[in-house]
Every structure is written in structure tokens, then in C-alpha cells.
Amino acid sequence: MIIAHPLLGPRDAAEFVYLGDASLIDRPDWQAQNAAERFHDYAYLRDNPAGAHRELWYHEQGDRSWLVVTRDTLSHEITRVELARDVARARGRGR
Amino acid sequence: MRYSALRILREGLTGNKGWRPVWREPEPKPEYDVVIIGGGGHGLATAYYLAKEFGLRNIAVLEKGWIGSGNIGRNTTIIRSNYMLPGNEPFYEMSLKLWEGLEQDFNYNAMVSQRSILNLFHSDGQRDAFVRRANAMRLAGADAELADADQLRAELPFLDFDNARFPIKGGLFQRRGGTVRHDAVAWGYARGADARGVDIIQNCEVTEFDIAGGRCHGVETTRGQIRAAKVAVCVAGSSGRVMQKAGMRLPIESHVLQAFVTEGLKPVIPGVITFGAGHFYVSQSDKGGLVFGGDIDGYNSYAQRGNLPVVEDVAEGGMAIMPMIGRARLLRSWGGIMDMSMDGSPFIDRTPIDGLYFNGGWCYGGFKATPASGFCYAHLIARDTPHPVATQMRLDRFRSGNLIDEKGMGNQPNLH
């Protein structure tokens, strides 16, 4: 697989480390009333879709940036690559 | 029809005209006591033990394609019980004992071959870990035997003992481990279940669960509605897809694992051998092909095919322990989809929905578990209590903190 890095252009997927579902960006509020329940779901439960999947890849052998890659789990086709930083900021995260 | 040497002789002398199909192709009935979703090894074994050991008769196995078309026909056929943790080892040892009696039990030649499995170690620290694991295995009634490098040099002279990076210091044998003819496992269980009245319904995909008032009353399928008192899901690899129809999210990611087979060779590798410093395992099939594999590709996939970096990694692992493998030509490679769970261990449990049961999360170790998985799942379905060796394989174990994490990797499915 080739991942079109937004800054570095097309890079071999072997340069990256895979973490998992991009929902891992949305870390629950540890002060919420139901924090234990939400952290359980956050840490252990996955949608695991057959089809389009937004997921986190880390460019370990490159510029060490985190990317959000939209990839089809049925065909491995990559349709979109964003910097995870941009995704997190768009969701209102400060850092 | 009972298979025996006498039967083969008689058929041979009468033109082989007496052989009959070994299972029926029934139309689905409108209602069953138990509907099992998934006609793979585990699903068929569950039906077989439900009928044989727990006295249920009114059972259907629903299979989307044809039976044995999933991972039971795509694996590398290894059986072993070399686990460590108390939540796992008694279960896998029960499975190995069931393998040992399986062919007599279901009267079918599954070519169970206890040709041993050897886990190589390459450092002192790794030897300590293997000694600990061997002791845990023996405590659970399994066999384990530590071999030093001299013993291995005599027994397996082709290994690269003096490899500069990963010298072989010894290994952990489980002599009762080995290989089984994987397709024959599905066929044997299917034949045994069918003979006891189980309806095996192929080309029947479940499209919806009938869930009302927190209870599952049956399923909608491509061949009509089927009502059932108990619905048992057994579709490892596709668990996410199927359980989503019941509105459940699982502690599972689907990943692709590749396997490889070379051209047929004369006998060179006596048992199963695994590399301790990377991920590589190899055995030789009775047809002569070297059957081997390694790591999963490491990203979510339902594609049943992997990518080249893992092919290279597996080949390097092979070359690191037995350079002679470089002369063999690769015949085929393929991929299968694994339920990778959050702690690397499986689930055999009830769900929060009454009448709906779940079996899955087998990671890449489902084949060896087939008999015990079927037996324990049947126990759970028939009696609504878990079998004593499967009490920890619960869906809610992450909530209660009772993980079964053999490798201590945490909730990172692609590292298990």
C-alpha cells in the first residue's frame, strides 16, 4: 500500500506503524460522571467496519507525524489522508 | 454409513458404487431449538457436540457460502496446547485431548499427526520465559520438554545454530502437538452432526436478527425467516459484520493473516518449528509442501489478501533459522481474516441479548481450538453455564479487569 502523505507525498505503508480506529483521537473526559464506562468503550470496543475505515497511522520511519487515513477494509484502497493534528483541531481539540 | 478398512475393501471390489453423500442438503425448517450461524469448523463442532454430548436434536447450522469455505480451509493446520495463563491453558489442553480421540469419535480420517511442535529460543532471557511456560503447561496436564542446542543439533541438523544475530540456544518441545488435515475436520464434524439430525443449510446468509424486548427470537436469512429459542453466532473473522446486525460493538478488530506453501519436497521437516526472535512457523504437509506463515499484516482488513512487506518479513524469518528454505519455490500464498481481540484471547459467552450467544475473537489460533471451542460452546448453549475450562472467556472481561493477555501487550489487537 502507498500512503499519500499530505506533506511528503506518496510513501510506502511499511514506513508507518498502525494504531487503529481514528476514534482514538476522541479521548473521553476523565472528569465525567460516567468516565469509567466511557473509557472502557474507548479503550476496548471497536466499530470494525467492512468498508470505509478512518484509522491512525504513525510515520515512524519518516517525519513522525500522525495521519488519519481513510481506507477501504475490503479492497485496501486509500481514498483520503489527513494530518491527525488537523483532524483533532477541527474537532475542537486545543493540542 | 460407518467407515472402516473392511468397507473400503468391499467398495473396492464392487466398483465403489456404494459411497453416498455424507450430509443431506435440507430445506430450512421454520423453527429450531438452536440455530448456529457459521458453518466453519467451530460451528459444525458446536452442532456435533450439542447433538452427541448434550442430547439436542432440533438444530440448524446456517452457512453463507459452503461449509468449510472460511478459515477452517485457510489455516496452517497446527494443533498444540503450549499456552501459559490459567484462563487459556486448561482449555487448549482439553482441545488437544479431544484431537487425540477425534478420529475414533467421529469415525472420519482427519489425519491427526502428532509430529511435535518446537519453539526455538535465542537468548537466556527467552529460555527463562520458556521454562516458566513449560512449567505452567505441565501444571495444566500438558506435556512440555526443554531441549538444549546439542540435542537440537542431533535432531534437526539443518537449523542455523550459529546465526550471527539470532543463534539458536535451544527450544521448547511439545511432542503431542502437530498437524491435522484441516478440511477433513469440517467434513468429519459435518458428517457426524448430520447423522444425528442436524440440518446443515448452505448458501443461507443471515441478514437480520429478530430481537424484541431484549430477546433474540430468530433470524432473517436469504432463505426466509427462521425462528429459534437460541441463536449461536460462530463466525470468527466476520464477527464485527454479523454482530453489528444485532447492534453490538465488540472488543475485536478484523485483520488479515497470510500463509504460504511451497512446491512439494521430499520429507525434510519432521514437525512444526517456530522462530523465537521473529514471527515465523513452518511445517511440512503430507503432500510435501512446506506450509508456513508469520505475522498478521497489522491493519484492519476484510480483504482475504495481504501485502508484500509481510511476505518479505516472513521469508526473512524462514531464512534466519533454516537457510535451506531459500531453495524452495513458493507455490501459493493466501490470506484469511482473523478476529483479533483486545487481549489476544477468545470469547465463548452469552450476550446482553437473551437467547443470543457469541463465539469469536480467536485471533490466529482458532484451528487448534476447534474441538474444545465446539464442546464448550455446546455446553454453554445447552446448559446456560460456561464449561469449567472456558469460564474466563467472557465478553465483559475488559470491564471487570480480568484480561487473558498471554503476551502482555494491552489493548492493541495487531500486536497479539
For residue B300, give the nearest of A23, A44, A73 by alpha carbon: A73
Q: CA B71 to CA B289: how far, in whole Å?
A: 19
- Containing B100, the helix (H) or strand (E) segment is helix B89-106
- The residue type found at B151 is Q
- What pLDDT score was predicted for residue B242? 96
Quick: pLDDT tens for B241-277: 999 999 999 999 999 999 999 999 999 999 999 999 9
Helix H or strand E encompassing B10: helix B5-13
CA A36, distance to chain mean position in Å, is: 23
Over the stretch B94-133, which tens digit does the pLDDT of each residue have? 999 999 999 999 999 999 999 999 999 999 999 999 999 9
Average pLDDT, chain A: 95
Q: List residues of chain B with CB under 8 Å from any CB of chain A.
A: 238, 240-241, 244, 249-254, 298-303, 307, 309, 342, 398-399, 411-414
Which letter, b or e, does each residue of B18-30 get, where b requires 16 or more Cβ atoms within 10 Å of its Cβ? eeeeebeeeebee
Q: How many CA atoms lie within 13 A of B414 on its CB side?
A: 16
Residue B351 has pLDDT above 70, yes or no: yes
pLDDT at B209 over 90: yes
Contact list, A3 vs chain B (CB under 8 Å): none
Average pLDDT value for residue range B67-83:
95
Query: For residue B75, which phi and psi values (nearest 5 degrees)?
Result: -95, 180
Q: Which candidate, B95, B93, B177, places its Cα nearest to that of B138?
A: B93
Residues of A in contact with B251 (CB under 8 A): 44-46
Say what the pLDDT of residue A95 is: 60
Q: Do A71 and B251 touch (CB under 8 A)?
A: no
Q: CB distance A48–B253 less than 8 Å?
A: yes
Residue reference for cell 521430499: B266
B1 pLDDT above the threshold of 90: no
Report the pLDDT value the prediction gives residue A92, as an integer from 0 to 100.
Answer: 86
Overall average pLDDT of the A11-28 stretch: 96
- The stretch B322-343 carries a mean pLDDT of 95
State the smallest CA–CA distance between residue B301 and chain A in angstroms: 4
**Cβ(B180)–Cβ(B113) below 8 Å:** yes
Q: How many angstroms away from the CA of B411 is the closest CA of chain A?
A: 7
**How many residues are given for chain A?**
95
**Of the candidates A1, A44, A48, which has its C-beta nearest B411's C-beta?**
A44
Q: Helices (DSSP H) in A1-95: which residue ranges? A: 35-44, 84-90
CA separation for the pair B219, B243 (Å, rounded): 12
Q: Name beta bridge partners: B291.
A: B261, B283
Residue of A nearest to B339 (CA): A48
Distance set, CA B137 to CA B83, B270, B403 (Å)? 7, 23, 19
For the entire predicted model, the pTM comes to 0.96
Residues 17-56 of A with CB under 8 A from B: 18-21, 40-41, 43-50, 53, 55
What is the least distance, in Å, from the CA of A55 to any CA of chain B? Answer: 9
What CA–CA distance (Å, rounded) separates B207 from B247?
13
pLDDT on residue B8? 95
Which among A3, A21, A46 is the top mutation candidate for probing chain B, defined by the most B β-carbons within 10 Å of its own β-carbon? Answer: A46
